[in-house]
Amino acid sequence: MFTRILKLEWKSFFRSANFTKGIAIKIFLAFFALYLIALFIGLGVGAYFFVANAVPTVDPLLTVCRCVVIWFLADLLLRFFAQKLPVLNSKALMVIPVKKKTIIHYLLLKSNVSAFNIIPLFFLLPFSVVLLVKGYAVANVLFWLLSMVVLIQVNNFINFIINKSNLYFYVIFSVLATGVSLQYFNFYDVVTPVGDLYFSLYKQPFSVLVPLSLLVLFYVVNFKHFLQHFYLDDGVLSKKEKEVTSSEFLWLNRFGDVAPFLKNDIKLIWRNKRPRMTVIMSLVMLFYGLIFFTNPMYVEGNSVILVFASIFITGMFLMNFGQFVPAWDSAYFNLLMSQNISMRQYLNSKRILLLLSIGLLTILSVPYFYFGWKIGLLLLVGGVYNAGFNIPVLLYLCTFNKKRIDLEKSAMMNYQGMGFAQWLMIVPMMLVPMGIFGLVNYLVSFSIAVGVLFCLGVIGLVFQNYIFSKLVNVFKKRKYVMVIGFQQK
């Protein structure tokens, strides 16, 4: 039976939307994966020498073991928020003659093949090799490695049970919280003894039995819990439905005929995972300015990088959210296209939303004025340039959007809806203003360069209605392509 389910899995992988994505995204993802792997291998090789230098009095392995305590805690935290149990297809399997137990064993085992469990190996393996080279006992190192791998799997299963069962969540949470607060308030040093325990896994190879029995324990706990709750309306397979509070946003009515759409867009952002995360990211990115504006090298030197920062900060929502207009509405695009609204009204509502976001982000970046008039000026000009020049550019590129977006998927590492336009966007929106500014700044002066960007933004704003009418016509022509594209899941 297992092999049959595996075959299904194979098909679902190779026929999935992810796998049939564009070549550019595949290459990008492959590079990103290679980068991560290289990073961890580098860390694995370097850790021993780094630690030996930093804490020369202690056995480097012992120091690493103490760091592992914090690593495992962070790992569990990250898993709790990001790792979900794979439940795909299990609905179809529930009604056909496969034993429930088989399905659950399968689901639990499948969860082991996860990036969370595999990526640590790229650290642990090279690190163990270094240990061997440095003359640590072979058998002891191998058993220590085994213990670490098993403990990562233990984390894997702890995560599922605390995600699904409140009882286990509170028990494990209170144990960990006690430990963290003891450490944090300096009542008792928890890290050292726990780290020493990990170290003893190296000293006493047979103590690998302890992590192994932990693994068995948590596997069985998960298995029993799942077996009891393996019903459609139970916690394992379904998500809990929350009561909805409706809100009216009456203050938006001042925007006239686009008000219904603005209200809808705010609900879209608030109630769906992916747009919500996009907005949160835009706000977090406000702090990105600290990297540039506090660094004298950037502030004193040529200001091109500051232009980049200003456009980036004030236009984060414009780029993050704007790039997928109108794909955000893909699930109900047919409704919007056949309801009593014109394309102009619809797009205008998006344009106003983007304008509002630029205004808001520019206001929120006011504290940066503390770092000097130059930075303040550039942020204002960045806002004006985004509003006048980048909005039409972005909306034009958006006419190439024809890929559906599922609102309820996470925004992290999510390339659904990505197309050629998203890759091209960076050139006109960031590089062109940087280039213009850099050139004028180099040939003439800083103030003229700022003036040029400002004028470009203002010209865009002055002619916005004319440009906008042209854009509406382009959208009208692309409507049919979008209707078909947005239906494709």
114 secondary structure, DSSP code: S
Yes or no: say if 344 and 312 are a contact pair by the CB < 8 Å rule: no
Yes or no: say if 73 and 180 are a contact pair by the CB < 8 Å rule: yes
Residue in 88, 146, 343, 393 binding other proteins, rule: CB under 8 A: 343
Q: Closest approach of Cβ 267 to other proteins, in Å?
A: 6
Binding mask 396-415 for other proteins (x = CB under 8 A): -----------x--------
Q: Which is nearer to other proteins, 90 or 272 (CB)?
A: 272
413 secondary structure, DSSP code: T
232 in contact with other proteins (CB under 8 A): no
Q: Which is nearer to other proteins, 49 or 480 (CB)?
A: 480
335 in contact with other proteins (CB under 8 A): yes
> Shortest CA distance to 275 belongs to which of 409, 387, 390, 392?
409
| Complete DSSP assignment for 238-292 | SPPPPPPPP---GGGGGGGGGHHHHHHHHHHHHHSHHHHHHHHHHHHGGGHHHHH
Q: Closest approach of Cβ 253 to other proteins, in Å?
A: 10
Residue in 20, 166, 246, 465 binding other proteins, rule: CB under 8 A: 246
* Cα-to-chain-centroid distance, residue 180: 26
Residue in 13, 32, 332, 463 binding other proteins, rule: CB under 8 A: 332
Q: Which is nearer to other proteins, 362 or 416 (CB)?
A: 416
2 in contact with other proteins (CB under 8 A): no
Residue in 244, 297, 413, 443 binding other proteins, rule: CB under 8 A: 244
Q: What is the largest CA-CA distance in the chain?
A: 78
Please count the residues of this chain forming the interface with other proteins, following the rule CB under 8 A. 30
Interacting span for other proteins (CB under 8 A) from 10-18, 65-73, 171-179, 479-487: 479-487
Residue in 134, 224, 271, 470 binding other proteins, rule: CB under 8 A: 271
Q: Which is nearer to other proteins, 226 or 475 (CB)?
A: 475
Residue in 3, 166, 338, 465 binding other proteins, rule: CB under 8 A: 338
Q: ω into residue 433 within 30 of 0, thus cis?
A: no
Residue in 102, 192, 264, 414 binding other proteins, rule: CB under 8 A: 264
Q: Closest approach of Cβ 90 to other proteins, in Å?
A: 20
Distance CA 464, CA 473 (A): 14
233 in contact with other proteins (CB under 8 A): no
Long-range pairs of 455-461 with CB within 8 A, sequence gap ≥ 24: 456/385, 456/388, 456/389, 457/381, 457/384, 457/385, 457/386, 457/387, 457/388, 457/389, 458/384, 458/388, 459/388, 459/389, 460/387, 460/388, 460/389, 460/391, 460/392, 461/384, 461/387, 461/388
341 in contact with other proteins (CB under 8 A): yes
Binding mask 192-231 for other proteins (x = CB under 8 A): ----------------------------------------
Distance CA 259, CA 264 (A): 8
Helix-strand-coil split of the chain, %, nearest 5: 80, 0, 20
318 in contact with other proteins (CB under 8 A): no
Q: Closest approach of Cβ 339 to other proteins, in Å?
A: 5
Q: Closest approach of Cβ 246 to other proteins, in Å?
A: 6
Q: Which is nearer to other proteins, 191 or 482 (CB)?
A: 482
> Shortest CA distance to 73 belongs to which of 221, 199, 222, 173?
173
Q: Closest approach of Cβ 442 to other proteins, in Å?
A: 50
Between the CA of residue 138 and those of 49, 96, 135, 146, 217, what are the distances in Å?
19, 49, 8, 12, 29
| Residue ranges in 272-291 that form contacts with other proteins under rule CB under 8 A | 272
Q: Which is nearer to other proteins, 243 or 300 (CB)?
A: 243
Q: Which is nearer to other proteins, 229 or 267 (CB)?
A: 267
Distance CA 101, CA 333 (A): 42
Q: Which is nearer to other proteins, 231 or 249 (CB)?
A: 249
Residue in 70, 182, 259, 436 binding other proteins, rule: CB under 8 A: 259
Interacting span for other proteins (CB under 8 A) from 9-17, 201-209, 238-246, 432-440: 238-246
Burial of 198 from C-beta contacts in 10 A (0-12 / 13-18 / 19+) = buried
* Residues 6 or more apart in contact with residue 317 via CB below 8 angstroms: 278, 279, 282, 354, 357, 358, 361
Classify 366 as helix, strand or coil: helix
Q: Closest approach of Cβ 260 to other proteins, in Å?
A: 4
* Residues 6 or more apart in contact with residue 440 via CB below 8 angstroms: 448, 449, 452
| Residue ranges in 133-152 that form contacts with other proteins under rule CB under 8 A | none
Q: Closest approach of Cβ 434 to other proteins, in Å?
A: 38
266 in contact with other proteins (CB under 8 A): no
Instruction: By CB under 8 A, name the binding residues for other proteins.
Output: 241, 243-246, 259-260, 263-264, 267-268, 271-272, 331-335, 337-343, 407, 480, 483-484, 487
